[in-house]
Structure 1
């Protein structure tokens, strides 16, 4: 079962404020919630899930379903550690689907069959397509990380589809959102493999993979292994992030522990047994990578800068470590998007770049 852990809500507002605003919520509304939240786990006035859900319900009453979905996304943040968080996710999905007819892109909710033990399981994925989509362009696989999931990042994925002409197949990594856990490096690779097969059939056969935060670990994996045609890694943990002596900040230890399937806060010895399969050094030692774009903020407190700089000098690889910003360069997302679009055009990877 998921577990709660000690985390100060004011610290999360410090770290995630720009993400909240850049993903589409009005800053005044974020500031109001920030001024009222005093506890991370209470489902009553002053509690994180309560105050964010109250904001979301207000949006829903006004018919602002996309804003409601974003606010419910923050209500369930950072993980589904209790019933209140799980209810917030259910309400987020309801509001997201109500908002779908007004999206600037086409929308399909699909169930993708992926390996699970000796059988298969259906994983929900969202397929976003630009106007005039006829299936003659590449498809971009896209995911967030352990605490920011496919519906939370809709605005970013929509912008990519509109700018590039690609379809976007958005999903949650194992152990998060609507994808059953626990998070596992091999299971993640299997999921990406199944999604890549689906994506090749949906588009012109070319598949790119965008991963953000822990999702960037899996896009780095697919890009280094050559399992997709190109890969974009934003804030992805690669090898240094999985060192035995690594530390966590802003409550990330609980998000990671929950994604890994623990029912209690793991100790250093337990994590030390978990990390080795996630280390991508074996893939880094190969020369099989497809074109890759790697971006992060120089001030990232979660992923060591070496996990970005390790890609410098690799063939067909462009690396940007942006100053004055943190994890995933969230406060400079417009610059990140511009770098991404320029790179996609340079490699002629999308329909717009052909």
Structure 2
């Protein structure tokens, strides 16, 4: 189920340009695509998917498979609302797998069959590990959000694998990417719990959950519930996002509506009612959390500051709200990533000493 909605390409470039070039695409190429795109949804010269796919194909022809995967990632952005977007995701995966021998770490793609709502669901995962990582190492499960998925986070994931004594298992949250089920609060959390079980069997039993954006919602949920040994929440919506106007800009209501499984643009009332089920207030009112690191930018247009500051004063919790940056502190990742790595290093060492 999916639908298109009114969305201006120039607004997306305004919001995401730093992310586009920050993940490794040459600025000159991004600028050229930006100049060529005039509208979002058709598959013709001047459309988002066409122009990004043309750039990606040029990279592929030149044997630059990782750049091709990044560009196809933007071609399918922000959601799989039509067949051209789905085709772009298929091409992204093909190019990503061609690039894999050059990742510099051990890489493995698996499609897990996990229990889900009385049946099963298939969940593709990408596992990264340093070449010399022992078999009994801890595991970090990691995901992005509603529009930035596991292949789009490649640089961060490989950095974790290189710099941390842990195996990284990347996945797409329910309703996004290669997921085949819509995003719901309980269903998405069930998939995460099944992934945690899988991860505990991979190494020494220690599992840490790292979530970015909506993925941070699910890492906050597993951390607050004590289901993992530690959790990192980067730009995660928690409660206020689901009751305030955090979805009003840059097409986020349409992106989330697609993730939730609507097959046509929902009314504000229907979308609000569905989102209300995601509030983590019941878990916030308890005291069962494991160690947590919560970070976001103070100028986030999607997630209110309250959804970060609500963690201040909690036991075993570190909170950073960075000034002069927005959602997931994306323009200050050079500051944020070292903080996350240092915190994870301490948590992994502590958990390992207790196992």
Q: Same fold (TM over 0.5)?
A: yes
Task: Within 5 Å, give how 1:42-81 maps onto structure 2.
Answer: 42-81=42-81
Distance 2:62 2:211 in 1: 33
Distance 1:105 1:117 in 2: 35
Alignment partner, residue 223 of structure 2: 223
The reply to whether residue 28 of structure 1 matches residue 28 of structure 2 is yes
Distance 2:67 2:244 in 1: 40
Alignment partner, residue 162 of structure 1: 162
SS in 2 for 1:152: helix
Q: 1:87 to 1:14 in 2, by over 3 A?
A: same
The reply to whether residue 136 of structure 1 matches residue 136 of structure 2 is yes
Q: Quick check: 1:140–1:207 contact (8 Å CA) kept in 2?
A: yes
Distance 1:219 1:196 in 2: 11
SS in 1 for 2:204: coil
Alignment partner, residue 311 of structure 1: 311
SS in 2 for 1:6: coil
Q: 1:64 to 1:217 in 2, by over 3 A?
A: same
SS in 1 for 2:127: strand
Q: What number of residue pairs does the alignment pair up?
A: 354
Q: 1:245 to 1:334 in 2, by over 3 A?
A: closer
The alignment's TM-score, normalised by the length of structure 1, stands at: 0.97
Q: Quick check: 1:124–1:171 contact (8 Å CA) kept in 2?
A: yes
Alignment partner, residue 150 of structure 1: 150
Distance 1:292 1:223 in 2: 7
* Alpha-carbon distance, 1:35 to partner: 1.0
Distance 1:103 1:286 in 2: 41
Task: Within 5 Å, give how 1:1-354 maps onto structure 2.
Answer: 1-243=1-243, 247-349=247-349
Distance 2:256 2:98 in 1: 31
Q: 1:228 to 1:253 in 2, by over 3 A?
A: same
Unaligned runs of 5+ in 1: none
Distance 1:275 1:52 in 2: 31
Distance 2:145 2:279 in 1: 17
Distance 1:335 1:152 in 2: 20
* Alpha-carbon distance, 1:348 to partner: 4.3
SS in 1 for 2:227: coil
Unaligned runs of 5+ in 2: none
* Alpha-carbon distance, 1:267 to partner: 1.1
Aligned CA RMSD, in angstroms, stands at 1.6
* Alpha-carbon distance, 1:80 to partner: 0.3
Distance 1:247 1:202 in 2: 37
* Alpha-carbon distance, 1:130 to partner: 1.0
The alignment's TM-score, normalised by the length of structure 2, stands at: 0.97
Q: Quick check: 1:200–1:206 contact (8 Å CA) kept in 2?
A: yes
Distance 2:281 2:266 in 1: 24
Distance 1:311 1:89 in 2: 36
SS in 1 for 2:319: strand
